[in-house]
Amino acid sequence: MSIAVLLILAIAAFLAGIGGSYLGIGGGVFLIPFMTLVLSVNIKVAIATSLIGVIATSSGAASVYVRDHLTNLRLAMFLEVATTLGGIAGALVGLRVPELFLYFAFGVMVLYAAAAMARVRETARQRAYQAGAEPRLTERLKLSSVYFDQEDQGVYRYRVERPVAGFGVSAAAGLFSGLLGVGGGFIKVPAMNILMRVPMKAAVATSNFMIGVTAAASAFIYYSQGLVDPGLAAMVIIGVFSGTNLGTRLLEHSKASNVRFAFAVFLAAMGLAMLLSRLPGVSI
């Protein structure tokens, strides 16, 4: 790798760090296509490098969100059980599923999530604690929590709905993570926000917290295979870490509805790209 390529990668990683920490994803979905298509890095090396970037995003951004009490630590632990199990299953079994099926299932699901997130606007009223009884599991696991929103200086109490469904979707997120070398944040954020009714910022922070552990499980496997290119990984770590310092500040001070919208646009673009990339005669 030449110095120029490494510097370009560091800049791309910087952008991935900003976007990743702002949207609650690892940035792997940016980095893998960039490395393979623009820098023509081998796909397996790209996946390994991206996993390292996911961990850097997670540690860099999650640390700030945890300090500022945006992250729901209990919810994260509960869902991590699913994502790590899914991650191992993805690495072992998922490889036998036809690739085409994965791409389409993935693309359709991502587009659905994008539409759902763009349509529903999150207002302070919706964020407010709803009356009525909590689901039994939520109560038992003390999943409901509060967070402080720096944008409007409000403290919001929220409760976690449909914990079992969220657990299932997280397992699927882990599966994709093990398979494609991404953190799976783009599945977890909508799952928490739409399905479990966790406010957007808390969902982003909690997702960011979880992806590091999910990616670490797969990163060990790639490292032991000698697939981690230390030069590339170093540039990605340095770039991503600088990016997260900006992205976290962006999230904490921006409107939740803007975060949702940015996320929806991002999902839509990704879903389309994934579907189109499998159509004959189109290369993305």
Which C-beta is closer to another protein: that of 122 or that of 139? 139
* Cα separation, 8 vs 236, whole angstroms: 10
194 vs 237, beta carbon nearer another protein = 237
> What's the closest the beta carbon of residue 45 comes to another protein, in angstroms?
8
Query: What one-character DSSP code corresponds to residue 128?
Result: S
Q: 209 or 266: whose CB is closer to another protein?
A: 209
Under a CB-based contact definition with an 8 Å cutoff, are residues 161 and 196 in contact? yes
C-beta of 151: minimal distance to another protein in Å? 20
What are the E-state strand segments in the chain? 145-149, 154-158
Residue 100: CB minimum distance to another protein, A:
26
Q: Nearest approach, Cβ of 262 to another protein (angstroms)?
A: 24
- Which residues on neighbouring strands pair with residue 145, listed in sequence order? 158
Q: How far apart are CA 53 and CA 214, in angstroms?
A: 12
* Residue (107 or 183) nearer to another protein, CB: 183
Residue pair 236/53 in contact by the 8 Å Cβ criterion: yes
Nearer Cβ to another protein (35/114): 35
Provide the minimum distance between the beta carbon of 210 and another protein in the complex, in angstroms, as a whole number. 9
CA–CA separation, 244 vs 279, rounded Å?
A: 35
Query: Taking a C-beta distance cutoff of 8 angstroms, is the pair 214, 174 a contact?
Result: yes
**Minimal distance in Å, beta carbon 242 to another protein?**
9
* Matching residue, tokens 């790798």: 1
Choice between 49 and 107, CB closer to another protein: 49
Q: How many CB atoms lie within 10 A of CB 280?
A: 4
Residues near another protein (CB under 8 A) are 1, 6, 52, 55-56, 58-60, 62-64, 66-67, 69, 71, 73-74, 77-78, 80-81, 84-85, 87-88, 91, 140-141, 212-213, 215-221, 223-231, 233-234, 237-238, 241
